């Protein structure tokens, strides 16, 4: 598909637990560790002409555990390791501050879409917990959950689209919005990087048309972001 024909114009990622391993209230760039496939996923989108951004709750600032400079330093490190990203949106407020941009509120997604000059309906939000997808829904964007050990089983069950890993989530939107509850793409990475490449399997099934298996999601949610 010609990139200009893809209705998905931007992908907005959650930060902690999605792009990088979650270090509670991290203010140290040296502790940044990208998740498997993060850099490849971002490069894949950029190679297909899809804009990329990050929308992240950072309540450690409101709680006095981080400074805004700390957050910027960590974000810069992520940009170096995983990006570059076209837009960053950060909410420094806590859950009781009434902020309209703190996820699950839609403000950061709307702001990021506005800065990219794309409609929210043409954006896909990828995150690891239910508030990421709730924010996407409220903004009028599409949402994909990539569960990890902090994702509650009920969040996985309620998600409109679930991918077992970040690269699968990204491959699923290279030709349009996500389709099907369980996303699967068995193409080799090299084939996915080929703009206009063929061979994508139907969303929601494996290469033989069978249903994909949802990832196990043990554990409970970690600290509030």
Share of the chain above pLDDT 70, in %: 80
Among 78-82, 194-198, 199-203, 219-223, the range scoring the smallest mean pLDDT is 199-203
- Concerning whether 79 is annotated as a catalytic residue, the answer is no
Model pLDDT for residues 198-217, shown as the tens digit of each residue: 333 333 333 223 333 333 33
pLDDT reported for residue 25: 95
Strand order in the sheet with 142-145: 87-91, 51-57, 10-13, 123-127, 142-145
Model pLDDT for residues 141-180, shown as the tens digit of each residue: 999 999 999 999 999 999 999 999 999 999 999 989 999 8
pTM for the full model? Answer: 0.83
Name, in order, each residue with C-beta under 8 angstroms of 129's C-beta and a sequence gap of 6 or more.
Answer: 14, 17, 145, 150, 151, 152, 155, 221
Helices (H), the chain: 38-47, 68-81, 107-116, 130-139, 153-158, 166-171, 189-193
- Concerning whether 16 is annotated as a catalytic residue, the answer is yes
CA distance 151 to 137: 18
Active-site residue (options: 14, 22, 122, 165): 14
Model pLDDT for residues 117-147, shown as the tens digit of each residue: 999 999 999 999 999 999 999 999 999 999 9
């Amino acid at each position: 598909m010609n990139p200009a024909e893809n209705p998905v114009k931007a992908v907005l990622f959650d930060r902690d637990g999605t792009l990088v391993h979650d270090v509670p209230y991290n203010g140290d760039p040296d502790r940044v560790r990208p998740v498997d496939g993060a850099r490849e996923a971002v490069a894949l989108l950029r190679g297909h002409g899809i804009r990329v951004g990050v929308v992240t709750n950072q309540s450690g600032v409101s709680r006095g555990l981080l400074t805004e400079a700390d957050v910027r330093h960590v974000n810069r490190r992520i940009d170096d390791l995983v990006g570059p990203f076209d837009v960053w949106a950060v909410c420094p407020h806590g859950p009781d501050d009434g902020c309209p941009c703190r996820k699950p509120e839609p403000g950061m997604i709307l702001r990021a879409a506005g800065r990219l000059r794309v409609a929210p309906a043409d954006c896909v939000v990828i995150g690891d917990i239910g508030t990421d997808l709730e924010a996407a829904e409220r903004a009028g964007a599409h949402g994909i959950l990539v569960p990890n050990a902090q994702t509650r089983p009920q969040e996985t069950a309620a998600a409109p689209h679930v991918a077992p890993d970040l690269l699968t989530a990204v491959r699923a939107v290279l030709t349009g919005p996500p389709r099907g509850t369980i996303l699967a793409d068995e193409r080799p990475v090299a084939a996915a990087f080929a703009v206009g490449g063929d061979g994508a399997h139907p969303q929601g099934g494996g290469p033989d048309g069978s249903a994909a298996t949802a990832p196990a999601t043990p554990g409970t949610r970690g600290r509030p972001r």
